[in-house]
Every structure is written in structure tokens, then in C-alpha cells.
Chains A and B, each alone.
Chain A
Amino acid sequence: MKKFDVVIIGGGPAGMAAALGAREQGASVALLERDDRLGGILNQCIHNGFGLHYFGEELTGPEYAKRFRDKVLADKGITVFLEAMVLSLTEDRVVRAISPTAGLMELHAGAIVLAMGCRERSAGAIALAGTRPAGIYTAGMAQRLSNVEGYLVGKEVVILGSGDIGLIMARRMTSEGAKVKLVAEIMPFSSGLKRNIVQCLNDYDIPLRYSTTVTRVTGKNRLTGVYVAPVDEKMNPILEKEEYIPCDTLLLSVGLIPENDLLTGTSVEMSRVTSGAVVDEFRQTSVPGIFSAGNVLHVHDLVDNVSEEAFVAGASAAKFAKGELALSETVSVLPSNGVRYALPQKVHQGEGKVKIYFRVDKVYRGRTVVVESGGEVVKRKKTLVMAPGEMQNVEVDKALIKGDLSIYTEE
């Protein structure tokens, strides 16, 4: 049985930043990572675009991870457990894990930070019709096989989903010798960054079709092709317009799901919109001492925001473990009118500023984001454009909070 002030589950960008945040408060930290090295998903994201905000430099995923990994490994106050899988956790903060070197482990935590990241939605989760040949992968699986193992999953590719992973893999597959025939996106807009549309699709003349989906797949042992069809306003495929595209590979980039399985059986309040926990500005969940940050809390677009958020979560967890997290009354943050969700969902009254992250439900141009509290406007932010695929934020002065915060857009 081991005791730590802060136990962090997950050694990716969120976990590593949380560890450093906790250490800054002088806490003893255990960092549990299931892979054989720290870095998480960044280890397979060899493209750049990371760190523009956090470091003021443009880094690749592995380089960004290294910045944190080096600091974590150099800090003797952080005990890193690699190849360690957490099996369960309890509300009184007992974490059970297993690893080949340590066997079964029981860790007692002053506070826990959840940093498990997310998983990809599979072909089964979208009930994809057709046969079950080899040749169908999530974009992340294809990414790992190529960027970590050095193997290409196929040569003639169709990609379903124009989120960033799908766009990045369109370029990766092309660079490694495959032909990407089409990226199909079920929405009328892409959830990925504009920069990726230009530098991953346009640069390589890869066609992108909006309001289009894959209806079924063919092939016995290996994929031989897919049927694509346009969709109507309800996202239902217009089957009369099905078109067959021969290919040997289908990559799915159809959604990321926060990996909160460990919370099953606990009373941690979850948000149905984010699929992550409901948290306050310290990233503490409804169960005292359990904190959450990064993709397991809500799916991010920029790792820079993950690091910032996780640092706060780690520091707050450390404070909690030392009994120093004094908390006042909270108010709720209530999104409406174009704002699909806002996080944190709860804010404590007091001093300083709080950064509210949010996503809109569709593309809005020229709208103003308004935050109201107790019937008064406490913040107005004019925007040029807001897209669902780009997480927004607005800062509010906590001293102005007089009641629940309402966040919405207006024209």
C-alpha cells in the first residue's frame, strides 16, 4: 500500500502537466501511465501545430511531450509507474492498479486527478452496415501503426470524418505512399481546424465532400470498397444517391469519447454534453478530492489548453490534499442560445478571474458572447467567427459574480 498526496491517472499531456502543477505546491505525486513511456497520444502525433500558445513555438507532438516528460522524469517528487493500468478507484480515493513490475498496487491518495484522455468512436458505435473485412480502422489506430510501428494500413483510402485526426491522417497516408480518394464529412462543415483543411487536403488535392456519409462497406477478407451517399437535414443518407468508391482502406474519424469508465459506480456527476465530469474552476468534480483535466474532462482541440487546465487541476489537487483548498459557495454556469456547453460548469464566488471555455453548436460569424450574472452583464466579447471545432474562451471577473452565470451568443 502506497500513499501519495496526489495520484494522477494518465501520463499524457494532461497527466504530466497536472504532475508539475501538483509539484509546484510541494505535493508528493504518483503518475500512473499504461504505456511503456510518458507522452500519451502525443507520441504518435508527429505533425506540428503544438505549443504555439504554451511555448510560443510550433512543435510536433513528440517534441511537446518531451518538454513535459523531461521535467517530470527529472523531478524526484514524482513517482512514475509505467505499464500501470488502473483497475478501480473509490470515492475515498483508493486507487487499485496493476503493472508487470509492481504487480497489484493499492495507492491511497490525498487527491486524485483523472487524466485518462479519450477513445475513438468505432465502426460498431456508428452501426456501420456491410461486411466485416480487414481494412476498416479508426484514424488513431492507423496513425499509431504508421507513426510508431512504421506500417501502412492500406493504399487506396476513403476517410469518414473531417475532424483534425481525419485531416491529419489524409496527409500522412498520402506522404507514405497511399492515395486518399475522398474525405466524407456528415455535417455541412468541418469540425477540424481551417489550417488542416488547407495543409492536409488542399495541398494534396484531396477532395472533401460535406453532408456525405459512408452507408456500407464491401469485401470479404479485405475491404474492396465503400458506398457513400449525401445526407438530408436530419443526417439520414439519401440512399437513392449512393455511390460506390473502390478502396482498400476506410479510416474513421467520427468522434472522441472521454474515457470515464473508472467513474462507473461512483457518484461523480457527469455531463451528458461533454461525457466528462461536472467540475468547478479548480477542475474538482462533485466528489471532493477527485479532479479531472484534459480530454477525459472535455475533448480539446489544442494541447496547449490541456496543459493549462491540467496544471490548475494538479495544483488544486495538491492544495486539497494539504487541506488548503478553501471553497466558498458555487454558482452554476448555464449555456444557451448557440453555446453548446461551457466549462467549468460551476464557479466559486470570490476574487480573481475565471476562464470559461465553451463550444458553439454551429458556425457563427460576427456574434457577441455575453456572460450575465444576477441579471447584469459581466462580460461582452465580440467575435469575428466561432466554429464548433474551435474551443472558445472568455474571462470573467469573479468579483462580479452575483448569481448563476448565463453564457450565450447574440447577433
Chain B
Amino acid sequence: MEKFDVIVIGGGVVGTAVLRSLAAYKAKTLLLEKASDVATGASRANSGIVHAGYDAETGTKKAFFNVKGAAMFPSLTAELHVPYQKTGSLVAAREGGLPALQALYERGVANGVKVEVIDRKRILELEPNISPEIAYALYAPEAGVVSPYKLTIAQADHAVINGAEIRLEEKVVSLEKTADGFAVRTEKGEYLASYVINAAGAGASEVNALIGEDAPTETHAVGDYYILDSKEAGVVNTVVFPLPDEKGKGILVAPTADGNVILGPTSRKVPHEVAEENEVTREGLALVREGVGRLIPCVNLRSVIRVYAGTRTAVGSDFIIEESKKVKNYFMLLGICSPGLTSAPAIGEYVAGVAAEALGLKKKEKMRPLPARFHLTKATEEEIEDKIASDSAYGRIVCRCEKVTEGEILEAIRSPLPAHTVDAVKRRVRAGMGRCQGGFCRPRVMEILSRELNIPLSKIRLGDKGSEIAPYEVKDGYEKV
């Protein structure tokens, strides 16, 4: 049986942040992810906001990790070549909303966040399209937007090139403490680990139950989103929130780090069994339209290119980030909902530190850097010519809308953590994320995957098992009409 120092369960933005931070130590590490790729849970479908940190209650883990994490984003995203912009954020309020804004302001100050309350005149300078009903706002210049799945993937790739292992499609089905350490069994294999970190997101409570740790009640809330065509970018410059309510931060309007506009999310509680179905509802979409209309009424909803939903999992009002008191060398992360994305880098560093201390791990002298991917859209003419000369695949555009070349797609398939599904390629290089949503490129991406993975086109999947895109040959089992 393979032995590891640390096994991380769950390949979301938190799990991969932990794995990457652990990769700075001399250790044998493994991340087990049940799906076909990292970033397929909440890390895939959220607002992509780096929150400034005024929203979380002072003294909570949310506040602590949010503020710490937010400060790490500029250098982290630069190091990992992840799209990120410090856009700033506004909590926009009508007349009469000033006391609520004031309370947020005070909390911000207490949390150590740079915030100010501004009037309509200032708001208009930042957001000329703000609704005429908005009178005041809380402005937090340190907030930003990031691509949450690109961050997750980059963390994973960086960990892998620094010696970590990631195994996909391996759901943990049993977890036992034995004399030799933890016996971790998945659908495919069995491993031994000295330390186990539960970062399993919506499945974290279940994993706790496997090891006999308390399994706190989780609440799962689905949120609907609109993504608008990149030609709408510019309708909003910062992340614009309404005043928060008991459900959460509310329906926002924001630019995305990749140049689109995002609207949403709503918050609809769902039972555990459907927590990962991510169902968009018509009612939810209507609520988004309504909410957006109260903030930036001129948003052109007809340029929607995609609607989707994500699910956040909460346990009570704060994160649970702690070593188990029942089971030695078992660390659990539960309820990492908003501001989970912002907190992830700080959580990763913290948890890795705890595990390293428990095991007496030594730090490496330095980590190998993550090489940047080639992007046609960001390269100079000279760089493009050189790239095509080295491999003509960089001259063949496959995704017309986002101008993604075959060379970039091959890079994605050959990543340190390889992409082997259409969605995995999409998350890495944006092929299929443009206005035609894969209408032109999907069959071509499938062909490239089929060739690279040396499997028939009929086996190429969108994502997890059972998602084969064109599973049959024509005339297969044809019965006379």
C-alpha cells in the first residue's frame, strides 16, 4: 500500500491551496478528488470575488482568514498567472440605508479593512450607471475579482510540479485510524497516511462521519448566476453589492477577471442529497434580474451567454477550521462558504503549517515556479510568430470566440494535472466560454482530446463519468423505422 505523509481529501480552491502550501515542505503528499477534475464543486460556480473583509463578524475565523487571504491575492495571482483585478467594491444603499452602511463601516475598521462611506457624487465617479435610487455606498478599494477555477487549477499544477500527487475520480469511501496511521480507501485504491486533511466541501461532513468525528449539520444554498457577453464589460467597474441581509451578501453585479459581467447569486436552501446538482431555477433567474435592476438598471440581459448555479455549504455562522480533538492528526475544514475563496490562500498556509508541525516536516529551500500558459490574446506578435514556428498548432484557432489555439488546448491536456474532459480543457483555456458556448469548438476540442488520449470520440466526456458527449456511433443498434 502506498504511504503518504499527508492526504488531502477534496480538490477545491481550499484543498488545492493546502496541497500547494504543503508542497513547500519536504513531504509525500496526495490529494484525492472524487470528480473528474479539480474545481468542480463550489470552487467552480461562485462569484469570483476577493472580499475586502468588512462583512464578516469581527473575531470570527471568517474575518481573520478573509483579511489575511485578501492581502495575499495580488502576489499569489501574479505568481500563479491567474486572472485577477483589484476592482474595489461598493455596497450600494438607498436613502435610509446610511445606518446599515455605517455599521458595516465600523465592522470593517474593526477587522482592519480600508473602507469609507461615500455619497452619490463619488459613487457616480466609480459607477456612472448606478441606479438613480442609490444615495450612499461603502467603498472598499482592496476588493477584487479573480477566476476561482483558474486559481484552483494553478494551485494544483504548482503543487504537482513540486512533487505533490493528485488522483482524480477517487472518492474516499472509508477512513480508519490504524496503528500505522490512516487507512484511506477510495473506489480505486488504498493508501496510508500519517495526516489527513478533510477539505471535501459539500461532502466534508460525510467524511467526518467516516472517521467517527462529529458531522455537523450542513446547510446548502444554491445560487443562480448570469454571465453576460464580454461586450457588456464596462457597464460596471467595481463589484456592486446591495445591503446584505440574513441570506447573505445579496445579488451583485460585477466584472469577471476574464472580461465578462456576472450577475447573481440568489440563495435557495436545498437538501443534502441534491447539494451538488446545481439546478438553476426560473424563479431564481427572475430574482437576479430584479436585484440587478435595483443596482444597475441598464444592464443588458439580452446579452446573456450562460446561466448556471453554484452551491455553498455552511455550518452555522463561521468556518470550522480545526484539528480534530477526537482523532489525532486529522484536520477538518467545514462550511467554507463566502468568504471561502478569498480565505483560501490563508487557510492553505495555516493548515499546512499545522500539519507540518504535527509531523515535524522540514521546509524546502525553494519551490519550482509555475510556468505561465501561452495565451494568444495576451502575446506579442513576435511571441506568436515564435510559438507558431515551434509548433504550428499555435497557429490554428479552435475556439473562435475566445481565440484559443490548438497549441493552448494541447498545453491544457498536457498540464501537470492533465485535463482529460471537455470541461477541464474549458476551465483551463476558456475554449467554449465565449458567446457561441462551444458551438464551433466543442467538436474540435473533442477531436483533439480523442487524438491525444488515444480513445474513440464516443468516450470523450463533458465532465464526470456518464457525461460522454456523443456516446454512440451512427447506426449503432439501428432498428428499422
Contact = CB atoms under 8 A, between A and B. Distances in A.
B453 interface: no
A122 interface: yes
Interface in A149-207: 149-155, 174-177, 204
Contacts of B278: 131-132
Nearest to B288: A127
A65 to B, nearest CB: 18
B397 A221 contact: no
Contacts of A123: 437
A142 B237 CA distance: 39
Closest 8 CB pairs of A and B: A124-B306, A151-B470, A100-B392, A100-B395, A221-B466, A134-B467, A122-B437, A85-B397
A396 interface: no
B463 A134 contact: yes
Contacts of A222: 466-468
B277 A98 contact: no
Interface string B439-477: 110110011000000000110011111111111111111
B389 interface: yes
B304 A151 contact: no
B473 A125 contact: no
A107 interface: no
Interface of B: 226-227, 231, 276-282, 284-285, 304-308, 376, 381, 384-385, 388-389, 392-397, 400-401, 403, 405-406, 435-440, 442-443, 446-447, 457-458, 461-479, 481
Given A120-B436, A216-B282, A220-B277, A104 B472 contact: no
A101 interface: yes
B469 A153 contact: yes
* Secondary structure type dominating chain A contacts: mixed
Contacts of B307: 124, 127-129
A79 to B, nearest CB: 17
A129 B304 contact: no
B42 to A, nearest CB: 15
Nearest to A147: B474
A133 B468 CA distance: 10
Contacts of A221: 462-467
28 contacts: A83-B395, A83-B396, A98-B384, A98-B405, A99-B396, A100-B388, A103-B388, A103-B389, A119-B439, A122-B439, A127-B285, A128-B280, A128-B307, A129-B280, A132-B278, A141-B439, A145-B470, A149-B443, A150-B473, A151-B474, A152-B474, A153-B469, A176-B474, A176-B478, A177-B474, A177-B477, A220-B466, A264-B231
Interface of A: 34, 83, 85, 87, 98-104, 119-120, 122-125, 127-134, 138, 140-141, 144-146, 148-155, 174-177, 204, 215-216, 220-222, 239, 261, 264
A151 B478 contact: no
Given A103-B384, A153-B470, A221-B463, A129 B277 contact: no
Contacts of B477: 177
Contacts of A151: 457-458, 470-474
A261 to B, nearest CB: 8
Nearest to B422: A134
A165 B229 CA distance: 25
B384 A104 contact: yes
A19 B226 CA distance: 41
Nearest to B392: A100
A140 B439 contact: yes
A124 B396 CA distance: 26
A144 B478 contact: no
A333 B403 CA distance: 37
Given A132-B278, A215-B282, A177 B472 contact: yes
A155 B472 contact: yes
A327 to B, nearest CB: 32
A215 B285 CA distance: 12
Nearest to B45: A132
Nearest to A138: B439
Contacts of B470: 145, 149, 151-153
Contact of A104 (B381, B439, B446, B463): B381
A248 to B, nearest CB: 9
A127 B406 CA distance: 29
Contacts of A34: 397, 400
Given A131-B279, A134-B461, A177-B478, A120 B393 contact: no
A152 B376 CA distance: 33
Contact of B304 (A104, A125, A176, A261): A125
Contacts of B463: 134, 221
Contacts of B436: 119-120, 122
Contacts of A146: 474
Nearest to B284: A129
Given A127-B285, A151-B473, A261-B435, 11 more contacts: A34-B400, A100-B392, A101-B395, A132-B280, A141-B439, A174-B481, A177-B479, A220-B466, A221-B462, A221-B463, A221-B464
Contacts of B474: 146, 150-152, 176-177
A36 B430 CA distance: 22
A119 B464 CA distance: 28
A152 B473 contact: yes
Contacts of A102: 395
Nearest to B442: A141
Contacts of B465: 221
Contacts of B381: 104
Nearest to B463: A221
Contacts of B385: 103-104
Contacts of B437: 122-125
Nearest to B434: A261
A107 to B, nearest CB: 15
